[in-house]
Chains A and B, each alone.
Chain A
Amino acid sequence: MIMEIKELYASMSEKEILKGLNMRINDGEFHVLMGPNGSGKTTLSKAIMGYPKLKITGGEILVDGKSILNLTTDERAKLGIFLQFQNPMEIEGVGFVNFLHSANSAVNGNHADVKEFMSEVRGMNEKLKLSGNIFKKPLNHGFSGGEKKKAEVIQMSVLKPKFAILDEPDSGLDIDAIKTVAENVNEIAQRNNTSILLITHYSRILNYMKPQFVHVMIEGRIVAEGGIELIKKLEAEGYESFMHK
């Protein structure tokens, strides 16, 4: 899947957040998006996913050359776009497995055999070093911060996306958990040839993931692009040197 974002402008509650953003992610590529708080990273992820409260005021989002702006959120997900949420929603009463099965049926269009489906889910559960308790809980309800992040990875594994946005998958995780999450995301992406846009504040997760491209976002625009060396520059100089570019 080729994701192209051209001169994208977006606002929420009359406030313009994305101001002419450009980005292109080719099939199977791994990109990192970094930027200070409030620069619009999460808004970009929501714009790609079709967040209804976000108003697109200009530009385009193209998937394999076709605009997705008129598609609803679920239609975008069915195209193969996946958003790992920074703060996954807690939905009381909706069982995690029930939810996973519904999502799998919706995206992959098949009603998986219960045993096979559960076997896959349990396998991921073990790989992510999760306890089986999340199967008995409502979706994200009563999950610890780490469990929420790992539950998102299970969803990614089941849905087999072509393009995944990972919005701060490392926030709130301890060192071991970061490694576990990163290794599993790598494995899922490799298995499905998934293009990835990773949003993060910290370079620690990049010890376990190998992005090819780095973008720096300031005030709703991409102000710098490059390879992994850009992260070293960021670590040395902070975002200050990228301001007002």
Chain B
Amino acid sequence: MDYNDFSAKAREYAQQLPEESDILYKRNFIQMPKEHLSALSEHGHDYEAARNEVEEIAKRIKDVFNIEFDIVVGGDYTYSNGADGVEITDMTGLDGEKMEYKKERMKKNRFEALVNATSKRIISIRTRKGARSNYNMLFANVNPLSIQVDIDAAEGSEASIFQFCCSGNGGSVSALAISNDITVGENAKLDIVQMHNENQDTAVVNIHTGTVRDNGFLRQHFFYTGGAYVKAIGSIELTGNSAESETNETVLGSKEQKIDVNTEIINGSVGSLASLESKAALMDYSRCILKGFARIKYGAVGSRSIVHERGMLLDKTAKIDSLPGMSIAEDDVKATHSSSAAPIDDETLFYLGARGIDRKSADRLIVDGFLGNSIKKIRNPSILRMVAAIINGKIDTRDYGKLPAEALESMWLIDMDQKNEDTGERLLQEHLKYRKQR
């Protein structure tokens, strides 16, 4: 069977899977438009045009934010600077092993099956034992893009990964689908920042699944600002004793964006600690569904699990559904979950108004405050600056999918915080200390 036959059958199979498989959420999900997802299987794109466009994006980001990408993917174009541990495998020449790999991963849900059916490449990142490494990745759907990333943080290693997902010039129905398959080894630390800033022609599928072994630590930050439709499905299992995971999800919606974030954290081992903090600030007619679920397995004695979901509505026409859930099969555990959603308080606006701050600036200040702690957890100053610039730009313009031309004026605040030792790292340490105390 050649790749095209396999892909066609695999897509057909994917379509048969339910869009939302969990009975809890049968009525709460964003329906992804078929025409966007079908675009993922389009072929015959102009390689050189894709290359020029994606290289231009990478250059602009480097010029403005001084972020250099190790891996750049757009359409059929893929570039790697040969960073240690990176391997790119072409999946179109299907051999038995590759086919089995894909088949195995297609069992989980429609969207993961779809990514496997349509992705032609797998990017593997394997850190070396005990080593420190850093990878910046750019994914641009200059043409519809489906990509799989395998990340394996070896024992005792420390790695930071930044994934920036964006669009090219746009203008036609498109999609960007990404699947991260993560393994954090014993005593390893892995920090992933993923930013989505796709344009309004794009539907986004983001899958992230992973396991964390003994004393391993996985920290993930997801920033969803772009894409007309977003479907995010995550599942992180702590399989090793005293393993930790911290997942932060930040949503900033505007216009008619529809964003569905479905994340499961699983304590599967003794003394493990899993936390999920999801925040959504919504403007205009945007809609967001936050579905954070904590699962504590039998035998996960002394484990802790935290799920917090918070929503802020800047306009009466915006809508949020916050649906935290838990399933606990062990007695000796600590588990908390909370959910809140509210419009911006009139008294708050009056107070800020009394200090000369108009509604637009007040929105920006309040949303900055609401999302600020999530942004400040980014440890790389250049990435922090870029994420903050995109978020501030979106609050100001309510537009999305465009690259920020420059770091915005409000960035001085973050700079100042850093000069005053009020760094993201310190805030994170305080956060972790606070969590441990609880």
Contacts and interface: CB of A to CB of B under 8 A. Distances in A.
B361 A99 contact: no
A97 B355 contact: no
A74 B372 contact: no
Given A102-B357, A103-B356, A106-B361, A94 B369 contact: yes
A93 B358 contact: no
B355 A107 contact: yes
A95 B413 contact: yes
A87 B346 CA distance: 15
A53 B346 contact: yes
A58 interface: no
A135 B420 CA distance: 10
A194 interface: no
A89 B347 contact: yes
Nearest to B369: A93
A85 B373 contact: no
Contact of A106 (B346, B351, B356): B356
Given A53-B346, A159-B355, 18 more contacts: A49-B354, A72-B353, A72-B358, A74-B354, A77-B353, A77-B355, A77-B356, A77-B357, A85-B351, A91-B352, A93-B368, A93-B369, A94-B368, A95-B413, A98-B365, A99-B365, A106-B356, A118-B416
Given A89-B348, A101-B413, A114-B416, A73 B365 contact: no
A50 B355 contact: no
Given A52-B346, A89-B348, A97-B416, A73 B369 contact: no
Interface of B: 345-348, 350-359, 361, 365-366, 368-373, 409, 412-413, 416-417, 420, 422
A201 to B, nearest CB: 22
Nearest to A72: B353
B416 A93 contact: no
Contact of B356 (A52, A53, A88, A107): A107
A225 interface: no
Contact of B351 (A50, A88, A101): A88
A106 B357 contact: yes
B355 A98 contact: no
Contacts of A102: 355, 357, 361, 365
Contacts of B412: 114
Contacts of B369: 91-95, 98, 138-139
B356 A94 contact: no
14 contacts: A74-B352, A74-B355, A74-B359, A78-B356, A85-B351, A92-B369, A93-B366, A93-B372, A102-B355, A103-B352, A103-B357, A106-B361, A111-B409, A114-B416
Interface string A148-172: 0000000100010000000000000
B293 to A, nearest CB: 26
A95 B366 CA distance: 10
A92 B342 CA distance: 13
A50 B352 CA distance: 12
Interface in A61-116: 72-74, 76-78, 82-83, 85, 88-89, 91-95, 97-99, 101-103, 106-107, 111, 114
Given A74-B358, A94-B368, A97-B416, A136 B422 contact: yes
B355 A106 contact: yes
A50 B353 contact: yes
A202 interface: no
A159 B356 contact: yes
Contacts of B371: 93
Contacts of A94: 365-366, 368-369, 372
A51 B366 contact: no
A103 B355 contact: yes
A117 to B, nearest CB: 10
A108 B202 CA distance: 42
B356 A93 contact: no
Nearest to A81: B354
Nearest to A46: B350
A37 B93 CA distance: 82
Contacts of B417: 95
A91 B372 CA distance: 13
B49 to A, nearest CB: 42
A102 B351 CA distance: 13
A111 B416 CA distance: 14
Contacts of A89: 345, 347-348, 351
Contacts of A74: 352-359
Contacts of A106: 355-358, 361
Nearest to A158: B355
Contacts of A95: 369, 372, 413, 417
A73 B353 contact: yes
Listed from nearest, the 5 A-B pairs whose CB atoms lie closest are A93-B369, A73-B353, A94-B369, A106-B356, A107-B356
Contacts of A111: 409
A101 B361 CA distance: 12
Contacts of A83: 354
A103 B355 CA distance: 5
B354 A85 contact: yes
A93 B373 contact: yes
B367 to A, nearest CB: 9
Contacts of B413: 95, 97-98, 101
Most buried by A among B345, B348, B357: B357
Contacts of A139: 369
Nearest to A77: B356
Contacts of B347: 89
